Chain A
């Protein structure tokens, strides 16, 4: 009788112990270490600082999957405000959530200003909140939100997942999203998604979304705006009009995700910090570059640190426009080569 009772209880006990062990594993960070962001001017990046992430390809101590990943993901964040004193915060403050979202929801989450998300805002904090539709949006307006969106991309290194992070000084709240493949998200889908929200909220979001554009989201969680732009001038105009822009030598052909087509020639020169004034602009589909495009290092590839926003040549303009490079030829529609207004 006693033996039979023990046989009945033992599995239950084991289950209880296993549950407790799992809870301890979840609630307590396996390792706590400091991550100190440097000044954004230094353009230092997460990937180089998470020393413990290296030599750990299976993410035992790195459930965020911070090591590796596409370099375009490594946008600099709000350096002044971000001082991650404890990696464990993301476990203890809000808990760990995992859910599946469509690429559409993800693209909704990360707007066309994602590159601008790198702009530092030392005073701002970023908070992403998720609604019942799986859509993360900002609970605070302004640069903080953009920083959060950038963070989502920064941390989206693990295959098929993307970690949306709420960033406040000293804290990081993380949600892990499972991204479903590479998908171009048409504008109408985004609008449809918006329409499923409450009317007031939909109106607010729609008004904010007018300048948003679709993204390509790769399987490693990198979101890339679906439309690229390139300033051109001189003999480059005839080249673009031929329908293909030949690859440049290192660091590659420069593109931007800013819609510069509405800017004047001098404005484009200034935001892209160009030494020559462009006369034309062209746009193109970035799908052809999606697995090649990357962030150049500063000083035209001569610097040590990536430069997602133009900043290296302040004498040439205000900068702060997104930039990326590719070593691929860029195919485009010659009709998309348009003159910039003087």
Chain B
């Protein structure tokens, strides 16, 4: 998977699990922010329990190791 694939997957998960307003905000972040900022924002949502699931956690972890560090 390349970075765009990860972004698309994150967007899909955000749309599925978040309310419309938050999902819009996150989509905007996904579109324009740096990989680390994207990670931090999604990590915050994960810690707050707003996006969950093992798939999401694995995706976020891989995204960090491949693009953020």
Question: Could you tell me which A residues sit within 8 Å of B by CB distance?
Answer: 231-237, 239, 248-250, 253-254, 274-276, 300-302
User: Contacts of B34 on A, CB cut-off 8 Å?
Assistant: 249-250, 301-302
Instruction: Name the distance in Å between A234's Cβ and chain B's nearest Cβ.
Output: 4
Say yes or no: A233 contacts B61, CB within 8 Å. yes
Say yes or no: A248 contacts B69, CB within 8 Å. yes
Task: Determine whether B20 belongs to the interface, using a CB cutoff of 8 Å to chain A.
Answer: no
Task: List CB contacts (< 8 Å) of B35-69 with chain A.
Answer: 35-37, 39-40, 43, 58, 61-62, 64-69
Instruction: Name the distance in Å between B14's Cβ and chain A's nearest Cβ.
Output: 19
Which one of B35, B36, B37 has the highest number of Cβ atoms from chain A below 10 Å of its Cβ?
A: B36
Instruction: Name the distance in Å between A7's Cβ and chain B's nearest Cβ.
Output: 76
Q: List 9 extra interface pairs beyond A236-B65, A248-B67, A253-B69, CB under 8 A.
A: A234-B58, A234-B61, A234-B64, A248-B68, A249-B35, A254-B69, A274-B69, A275-B64, A302-B36
List 13 A–B pairs whose Cβ atoms lie within 8 Å, in order of A's numbering. Answer: A234-B61, A234-B62, A234-B65, A235-B66, A236-B62, A248-B69, A249-B35, A254-B69, A275-B40, A275-B64, A301-B34, A302-B36, A302-B37
Say yes or no: A300 contacts B65, CB within 8 Å. no
Q: Which of B37, B40, B65 contacts A232 (CB 8 A)?
A: B65
Q: Please, which residue of chain B has its CB at the minimum distance from the CB of A278?
A: B65
Instruction: Name the distance in Å between A85's Cβ and chain B's nearest Cβ.
Output: 41
User: Contacts of B64 on A, CB cut-off 8 Å?
Assistant: 234, 275-276
Say yes or no: B66 contacts A239, CB within 8 Å. yes
Complex CA gap A276/B61 in Å reads 7
Chain A binding site: helix, strand, loop or mixed by DSSP?
loop
Question: Could you tell me which B residues sit within 8 Å of A by CB distance?
Answer: 34-37, 39-40, 43, 58, 61-62, 64-69
User: Contacts of B65 on A, CB cut-off 8 Å?
Assistant: 232-237, 239, 276
Which one of B64, B67, B69 has the highest number of Cβ atoms from chain A below 10 Å of its Cβ?
A: B69
Q: Which of A231, A235, A249, A253 contacts B62 (CB 8 A)?
A: A235
Say yes or no: A249 contacts B67, CB within 8 Å. yes
The 9 closest A-B pairs by CB, nearest first: A236-B65, A235-B62, A234-B65, A234-B62, A234-B61, A300-B36, A233-B65, A254-B69, A276-B64
User: Contacts of A274 on B, CB cut-off 8 Å?
Assistant: 69
Say yes or no: B35 contacts A248, CB within 8 Å. yes
Instruction: Name the distance in Å between B55's Cβ and chain A's nearest Cβ.
Output: 13
Q: Please, which residue of chain B has its CB at the minimum distance from the CB of A230?
A: B69
Q: Which of A237, A248, A275, A302 contacts B43 (CB 8 A)?
A: A275
Instruction: Name the distance in Å between A66's Cβ and chain B's nearest Cβ.
Output: 32
Q: Please, which residue of chain B has its CB at the minimum distance from the CB of A274?
A: B69
Instruction: Name the distance in Å between A29's Cβ and chain B's nearest Cβ.
Output: 45
Complex CA gap A209/B43 in Å reads 42
Q: Please, which residue of chain B has its CB at the minimum distance from the CB of A313?
A: B40
User: Contacts of B58 on A, CB cut-off 8 Å?
Assistant: 234
Complex CA gap A248/B3 in Å reads 11
Instruction: Name the distance in Å between B40's Cβ and chain A's nearest Cβ.
Output: 8
User: Contacts of A250 on B, CB cut-off 8 Å?
Assistant: 34
Complex CA gap A239/B65 in Å reads 10
Complex CA gap A248/B66 in Å reads 8
Complex CA gap A315/B61 in Å reads 18
Say yes or no: A275 contacts B35, CB within 8 Å. no
Complex CA gap A302/B33 in Å reads 12
Q: Please, which residue of chain A has its CB at the minimum distance from the CB of B37?
A: A302
Complex CA gap A192/B64 in Å reads 44
Complex CA gap A67/B27 in Å reads 44
Which one of A231, A233, A300 has the highest number of Cβ atoms from chain B below 10 Å of its Cβ?
A: A300
